[in-house]
Amino acid sequence: MKTLTLKELFMDELADMYDAERRIVKALPKMVKAATCPDLKKTIQSHLKETEGHVQKLEQVFKSFGEKVKGKTCEATVGLLKEGDEIAADFKGSPAINAAVISAAQKVEHYEMASYGCLHEWAGLLGNEKAAGLLETILNEEKAANEKLTELARASSNEEALCACDQNGSQEKSADQRPANLRRGIRPVSSNRNRAESLAL
């Protein structure tokens, strides 16, 4: 049985993230459409441009190792984006829609930060300073995007999510009016402020 090397692990993960970034480029416009907060829309649109740049940077990383550019289906990103589509559909028209979009976006950001953190370290161990620099740039942009989403959540979106009151001031909805995931038996989130802010962690 062949013993796999760090470089092979690196290239496998690089192909995984190349596929992930290309999928995210296609998914972010849908998040922009789902959001109703102008600042959130602007933030996602700005990160879309960065993500397009990430695709190009990853292609440069492949070339810096003398490897052909290729992608490998990133099952984690497929799942996270599918969940994002579902939550956006469930909370469409709800005061919680922006908090929901931020939550979905940050799950993707955290996965990317973990992946690029590893790739950056591995590139350094493999002695490829150019690749390490490119990956560090991507990692820093993902961190900045995540921090901006947290700021937006705490500044307005989480508070808006607490205002799911009908015209009579009731916070309860009938079973037919609740989002699909709540109707399926998942317990609703508490209206406690700290619990609401957990969307941004």
Domain residue spans in the chain? 6-200
Convert the pLDDT of each residue in 28-63 to its tens digit: 999 999 999 999 999 999 999 999 999 999 999 999
Q: Tell me which architecture the domain covering 6-200 has in CATH.
A: Up-down Bundle (1.20)
pTM recorded for the entire structure: 0.80
Taking 50 as the pLDDT cut, the residues of the chain under it are: 165-176, 178-201
For residues 66 and 24, what is the distance between their CA atoms, to the nearest angstrom?
A: 26
What is the three-class DSSP state of 169? coil
Question: Do the Cβ atoms of 162 and 94 come closer than 8 Å?
Answer: no
Question: Do the Cβ atoms of 15 and 70 come closer than 8 Å?
Answer: yes
Convert the pLDDT of each residue in 126-141 to its tens digit: 999 999 999 999 999 9
Contacts of residues 120-125 at CB distance under 8 Å and 24 or more positions apart, as own/partner, are: 122/6, 122/9, 122/10, 122/13, 123/10, 123/61, 125/6
